[in-house]
Amino acid sequence: MEHVITKKEDLNAADYLIEVVAPEVAKKFKPGNFAVLITIPEGERIPMSIQEAHGDKITMFIKRLGKTSKELDTWKPGDAFHKIIGPMGTPPPLKKYGNVVFCSDLVCGHAENYAMCKELKKMECNHVVSIQTFPTEADIYPEKYLCTEVCDEFILTTKDGSRGRKGHYMDILKEMMEAGKVDQVFAGGDMPALRDLSALTKKYDVPVYTTVRQIMVDGTGMCGSCRVFIDGEMKLTCIDGPMFDGHKVDWEAALSRLAMFKAKEAEAMECYLKKMEGIE
């Protein structure tokens, strides 16, 4: 099966959307799943949250960050991935929670926010609030890719206050928890913020599921690279996660493992840029 790109669109100056043919992944997709993308036969495997599955296609939001995401940004509709593996991961139960709040402040979190709010809203008895944080007005995604239509109440915040409420999702959530209005929190995005969110929700005794992103090598449970400790027990984020009970995550271990590969990634990016300079 050819995994052909059918749509590619900028979301803002840093993030773009890709829609790609992946029938097997689309058929089995559950909100909270991710896919493993392999651009070329010798390419690395990169995990990406799935924002939506429709027909035989899946949509993902991607940040131009390092070697592979920048290289992929030069691709156009009609270009095809070598392989797409998935759907991967074990999403948390999507059921009747009552007052549910989903918070996100980064590309992967925004994709999860969209997919999971859409599902949670379908269930009677859930009142779904989506909070999306962007740095400034210029970074906000086009309206159709925000969570506006997939929740009961949408709150947009910018860190500089240039549009929506000023501040981070954490400020709004704190107010809501103080008013006793939250039964369950879900969140994805920046890892240190998710650590702080887990501590904050614990203080208010509100349960939270957060994404715990780790470096994935195979993405299929074989290498152990994505291991995390949940309540002292080792789990694999590619198989058991990537969402876990935030109150039980060993955040310091997870954050320090994530920083381990920075030098290698910088080296890969430098090689890619040199290669591009040679081509131009």
Ligand X SMILES: Cc1cc2nc3c(=O)[nH]c(=O)nc-3n(C[C@H](O)[C@H](O)[C@H](O)COP(=O)(O)OP(=O)(O)OC[C@H]3O[C@@H](n4cnc5c(N)ncnc54)[C@H](O)[C@@H]3O)c2cc1C
Least separation in angstroms between CB 141 and ligand X: 13
Q: Which stretch binds ligand FES (CB under 6 A): 188-196, 219-227, 243-251, 255-263?
A: 219-227
Cis ω before 242 (30° cut-off from 0)? yes
200 lies in the site for ligand X, by CB under 6 A: no
CA separation, residue 60 to residues 51, 130, 166, 221, 279 (Å) = 5, 19, 27, 22, 29
165 makes contact, choosing from ligand FES, ligand X, none, with CB < 5 to 8 Å by partner type, with: none
For the chain, the 3-state helix, strand and coil shares in percent, each to the nearest 5, are 30, 30, 35
Binding mask 224-253 for ligand FES (x = CB under 6 A): xxx---------x-x---------------
Q: First vs last Cα of the chain: how many Å apart?
A: 33
Least separation in angstroms between CB 239 and ligand FES: 6
Q: Which C-beta is closer to ligand X: that of 114 or that of 169?
A: 114
Q: Which C-beta is closer to ligand X: that of 182 or that of 240?
A: 240
Residues in 68-97 at the binding interface with ligand X, rule: CB under 6 A: 68-69
Q: Which residue among 173, 213, 230, 235 contacts ligand X (CB under 6 A)?
A: 213
Over its C-alpha atoms, the chain yields an Rg (Å, rounded) of 18
Closest to 21 in 3D by CA, of 81, 61, 69, 63: 81
Q: Which helix (H) or strand (E) holds 208?
A: strand 208-211
How many Cα neighbours within 13 Å face the side chain of 189?
26
Q: Which stretch binds ligand FES (CB under 6 A): 107-115, 160-168, 213-221, 248-256?
A: 213-221
**Rounded to 5 degrees, what are φ and ψ at 219?**
75, 10
Q: Which C-beta is closer to ligand X: that of 36 or that of 177?
A: 36
For β-strands 208-211 and 243-245, DSSP reports them as antiparallel
217 lies in the site for ligand FES, by CB under 6 A: yes
Binding site for ligand X (CB under 6 A): 34, 46-49, 60-63, 65-69, 107-108, 111, 213, 215-216, 242, 258, 262, 265, 268-269
Binding site for ligand FES (CB under 6 A): 216-219, 221-226, 236, 238
